[in-house]
Chains A and B, each alone.
Chain A
Amino acid sequence: MGFLDYAFMKNALVAILLITPMFGIMGTMVVNNRMAFFSDALGHSAFTGMAIGLLLGISDKDLSMVIFAIVFAILLNYIKYKNVASADTVISVFSSLSVAVGLAILSRNGNFSKYSVMLVGDILNVTVTDIVKLALALTATIVVWIFCYNGLSGIGINKSIAKSKGIPVILYENIFACLVAIVVMLTVRMAGILIINALLILPAAAARNISGNAREYHLFSCVGSIFSGLTGLILSFYLDVAAGPMIAIVASVLFFLTFAVREVGRK
């Protein structure tokens, strides 16, 4: 049987076609504005969002995770602006604390193994509701990009110039942090806590190797992301391994290929 003969594979395919362009687009800014560590920390905080949802008896885990991540992101930005420590340190503090709290709660009564699937992710359990949520997240990403891309890019280049041009720096940074929080939380169950940052960063990193401007960068990043997603999903089906790691492997291969192309092109 071909892989599309299974209903769960069809759902997985649709999910991949929604997740990968979103990662392709967002990864460009995460890399440009040096936020890879931030998105990684958000991914790790998924445990805590889930644990808090469990404690409060919220049945929709996505909801508790998204709310927690947004609070996490805004609080983190707020402390970052206070300039008490470098951004790296502030992120580390938040990340460590939230992972610890999440693990502590989830491991009560030796139940942690139930949640360990979160680490590698599971794309084969995607429901129609999940797909609707992903479609909404992709739409939100595109809307934010159309209205805020110029400003966000300007902030990444130089905050003082951005400010002098009237770009609302703090507002834009918070909008972007919330967007990353939402997208990471809605996809982390499928992509896996350990892998999600690779999927976010690798396509953009590969695209940088061969792009000369912002349009090429976005195009190559999206195409590379979708290609890795599809190839990874198909390979994972036939090789019987988890999809997230397979996609990350394909994306890494793309990164090294584009790196080689760049080195050859330079000579």
Chain B
Amino acid sequence: MKKNKYLQKNKELDEIIDDEKAALYRTGKMKWGGRAACGFHRIEINDLSVKSGNTVILDKVSLSIYCGKLTVIIGKNGGGKSTLIKSILGERAYDGSIVFRDIKNNTVSRLKVGYVPQKLDLEPNMPLSVYDMAAGYISRIPVFLRKDKNLYDRIKTRLEMFDAGNLIDKRVCDLSGGELQRVLLTIACTPVPNLLLLDEPVSGIDKNGRELFYKILADLKKSYDLSIILVSHDLDLMAQYADDVVLVDKTVTAKGTPEEVMASEAFKQTFLVNSLKG
């Protein structure tokens, strides 16, 4: 049973990567191959509420997120953004439902989530290479025992797509903020999830790093059948790259295109008042 699962997992990885390689060779110019977004997949969050004791942290949040879109969630600190992410990840108990639906056939399937955290809390001087970290998360070949040549090549190919191929033998603790985020993004996208969840991924990264990161996300969105949710403080880049913006303050106080949200009363109240105070 266990062995079958192991084989299956690796086979899945093989197929994805071969598919991509094939597409690369076929077109010659496309950076990534893969199944592009169909527009029929939707993640529905219905009346999601979270309480901590008697305090209501999230109150009836309802959202639909379509594949092929980059949805940015903004809001002030303590407004429930992190709790929303934890609920989607299944780490926090909630009322309501989160459903992954194919609206073409109206079928529901299990949601595969790829997660990129804000940062890792590694011990300093940790003897862990990028290969170790990636192989540990995506395969069952014991990382401490040997370096598997095939797996190494596959991970390297994968990292190259995210501009991180040269990092494979570096120690994770020696990476810069931007490099680490690209590595974590590679891991989150191998195998390709239905939903990519990014938690303030660009905080503490310089401007060039941030722009590169958003460009990669834009490519990713075009090339794969997945939805992206990004939690961010970065309003400028949000305006440039987001398809949809959701303002969360206990509940959804505004949603729509970046322009629509930025013109809303709720947005002004949350950010303009804050910046005047600050």
Contact = CB atoms under 8 A, between A and B. Distances in A.
Contacts of A31: 123
Contacts, number: 97
Contacts of A32: 123, 126, 128
Interface in A159-173: 160-165
A216 interface: yes
B24 to A, nearest CB: 25
A150 B122 contact: no
A215 interface: yes
Given A209-B125, A212-B169, 8 more contacts: A157-B128, A161-B187, A163-B89, A164-B115, A164-B188, A212-B129, A212-B171, A214-B127
A214 B137 contact: no
B142 A161 contact: no
A145 interface: yes
Interface string B108-125: 000001110100111101
B143 interface: yes
B136 interface: yes
A207 interface: yes
Interface of B: 2, 86, 89-91, 113-115, 117, 120-123, 125-129, 131-133, 135-147, 169, 171-172, 184, 187-188, 193, 197
Q: Is the contact region of chain A dominated by helix, strand, or loop, or is it mixed? A: helix
Contact of A145 (B120, B125, B144): B144
25 contacts: A146-B142, A147-B2, A149-B144, A150-B135, A150-B137, A150-B140, A150-B143, A151-B136, A153-B132, A153-B133, A157-B128, A160-B91, A160-B115, A161-B115, A161-B137, A162-B137, A164-B89, A164-B197, A165-B137, A165-B138, A212-B169, A213-B127, A215-B143, A215-B146, A217-B144
A67 B172 CA distance: 38
A44 interface: no
B117 A213 contact: no
Given A146-B142, A161-B115, A161-B188, A211 B136 contact: no
A216 B230 CA distance: 37
Contact of B142 (A149, A164, A216, A217): A149
Given A160-B115, A164-B89, A165-B137, A153 B143 contact: yes
Contacts of A153: 128, 132-133, 136, 143
Interface in A118-165: 145-147, 149-151, 153-154, 157-158, 160-165
B245 to A, nearest CB: 24
Interface in A199-214: 207-209, 211-214
